A and B are shown apart, each in its own frame.
Chain A
């Protein structure tokens, strides 16, 4: 029985852990803090085909198909959160404020079509049908992907973890990894002194993966940088807003969760680290609020209850890093660098990656993401 140590308890780690457990591997899932602590738990829950590469569009479409399959599988296993993904259909509306935005979005929209997504160009009046309180004079046009989706990342991640545990995985929280030794087996040691031995270790730690790369003394050709992101959540209202609004030039996303609060994120604030001051939190609140109120003036009266920061790992070519380590082939597997689309693309990629690890057969769909690429 193959033993696999999965490092990282977010959306990627949880899907890898559950898929590997399904395949009969013995999984040890190690999370440095609590499950969903990283960028997974700080996202809007968007599952969208609005990606920057056609193959990522395909992966996002596959992720959406996976959701009902996983729900059914988990219900049969007796996972309680299977009922509570708090998910819904969610047409994603990419807003162009002016003609320049429109030209940029048009190029992206072609990529979405290439990847197999349904795309509609829309006048403001059409957007107003979907979001009645939008100010149709505040923007130029929009591109809509009507078949997109949304959910809440916490119950989805918990469901994957619960399934993994029912299938025999051991999971640990508040166990940051401090040492990884690769010999015949892989020995992973945590801060508290616990030791885990596996045939394989999977690095699925999002932005923290960069620290683990250093621990392994591995340098990849692809540059990966961790950028600061931020989000905020409002008081709850009656659930009225299915669509998700995006403003690409500001990395902005906005929707109402099925838990009824509105949530807005800026997935890249443009700097790597916040300073020790409240200025960066304030800058985010101004940016997200201004875009929201400009598009939907009644939102001016809605109260922000909580805001937060996050780190997202961005790769220089915008594609994730998925595959065996060039230095430790067959022993260390990397699956991180999901930019701002971890929830959309992650589950599809993670299940395929788990299959690669379990079967030893390379999946051609994952070829563009190999760690050895230049």
Chain B
């Protein structure tokens, strides 16, 4: 549901392993463990580091399926440690291309001296 991120307690009590990132096979349990490790060992909790450390949002769909799960879990865990954030503001950096593009489409031997 775009714009609405389910922050209820129930969603945190998924039976594990509940896969939240299907592209990279990351479960909710793993996301929570990654958050704990990130805070303990790096003292960080930004969305970009969380994305890289957990692997979520780094797969083929680049977060179309799981970004809201990353936001939900990150905001929920931050709330537990006393940091209030708007889950919609926890956005890892977006980059081109907007969709997967096969390399062959950019092939232009006249543009590059080989």
Q: Please list the residues of chain A having a beta carbon within 8 angstroms of any beta carbon in chain B.
A: 34-37, 41, 79-81, 97, 154, 158, 161-162, 165-166, 171-174, 234-236, 249-250, 259, 278, 281, 285-294, 299-308
Report chain A residues within 8 Å CB of B37.
Answer: 80
Please report the C-alpha to C-alpha distance between residue A301 and residue B105 in the assembled complex, in whole angstroms: 9
> In the complex the two chains form, is B96's CB within 8 Å of A301's CB?
no
B-chain residues with CB within 8 Å of residue A299 when the two chains form the complex? 103-104
C-alpha spacing A34/B90, complex, angstroms: 14
A35 touches which of B44, B55, B96 (Cβ 8 Å): B44
A34 near B96 with CB under 8 A, answer no
- What residues of chain A lie closer than 8 Å to B1, measured between beta carbons? none
A34-B46 Cα distance, complex, nearest whole Å: 7
How many cross-chain pairs have Cβ atoms below 8 Å apart between A and B? 113
Q: Is the CB of B100 within 8 A of A289?
A: no
Q: A35 vs B96: C-alpha distance in the bound complex, in angstroms?
A: 22
- Give the shortest distance, in Å, between A265 (CB) and chain B (any CB): 14
> Cβ of B114: which chain A residues have Cβ within 8 Å of it?
97, 290-291, 294
Q: Please state if B107 and A304 are interface contacts (CB–CB under 8 Å).
A: no
> Which residues from chain A contact B111 at a C-beta distance below 8 Å?
286-287, 290
What is the bound-complex CA distance between A322 and B19, given in angstroms? Answer: 47
Does A80 contact B109, Cβ atoms closer than 8 Å? Answer: no
A162-B41, A306-B62 known; A289+B46 contact, CB < 8 A: no
Which residues of A lie under 8 Å from residue B102 when comparing CB positions?
A: 300-304
Asked if B11 lies at the interface with its beta carbon under 8 angstroms from chain A, I say no
The residues of A that contact B18 with a CB separation of less than 8 Å are: none
Contact of B112 among A80, A158, A165, A291 (CB under 8 A): A291
Please count how many residues in chain B sit with their CB below 8 Å of the partner chain's CB atoms.
31
Q: Is the CB of A171 within 8 A of B103?
A: no
Taking a contact as CB atoms closer than 8 A, the residue among B44, B96, B107 that contacts A289 in the complex is: B107
Across the interface, which residues of B come within 8 angstroms of A302, CB to CB?
A: 102-103
A159 CB → nearest B CB, Å: 9
Q: Could you give, for residues 11-49 of chain B, a 1 whenever the CB lies within 8 Å of some chain A CB and a 0 otherwise? A: 000000000000000000000000001000111101011
Q: Given A289-B103, A300-B102, A307-B95, decide whether A171 and B42 contact each other with a Cβ distance below 8 A.
A: yes
Q: Cβ of B59: which chain A residues have Cβ within 8 Å of it? A: 236, 305
B42 with A304: CB separation less than 8 A: no
* Given A171-B42, A306-B62, A307-B97, A154:B103 Cβ within 8 A: no
A34-B49, A236-B59 known; A303 and B100 CB under 8 Å?
yes
Give every chain A residue within 8 A of B112 (Cβ-Cβ).
250, 286-287, 290-291
New A-B contacts (10) at CB < 8 Å, excluding given A173-B49, A278-B96, A294-B114: A37-B48, A97-B114, A165-B42, A235-B60, A289-B107, A301-B103, A303-B103, A304-B102, A305-B97, A305-B100
Give bound CA distance, A303 to B97, whole Å.
10
Bound: A289/B100 CA distance, A:
14
- For B49, what are the chain A residues with a Cβ–Cβ distance below 8 Å? 34-35, 173
| Sample of 17 A–B contacts (CB below 8 Å) | A81-B41, A166-B41, A234-B103, A236-B60, A249-B113, A287-B112, A289-B107, A290-B107, A290-B114, A291-B112, A293-B107, A294-B114, A300-B104, A301-B103, A304-B97, A304-B101, A308-B95
* A299–B37 CA distance with the chains assembled, in angstroms: 36
Tell me if A173 and B46 are in contact (CB < 8 A): yes
Please report the C-alpha to C-alpha distance between residue A234 and residue B60 in the assembled complex, in whole angstroms: 8
Complex Cα distance, B114 from A303, in Å, reads 23
**Complex formed: what's the CA distance from A38 to B27 in Å?**
29
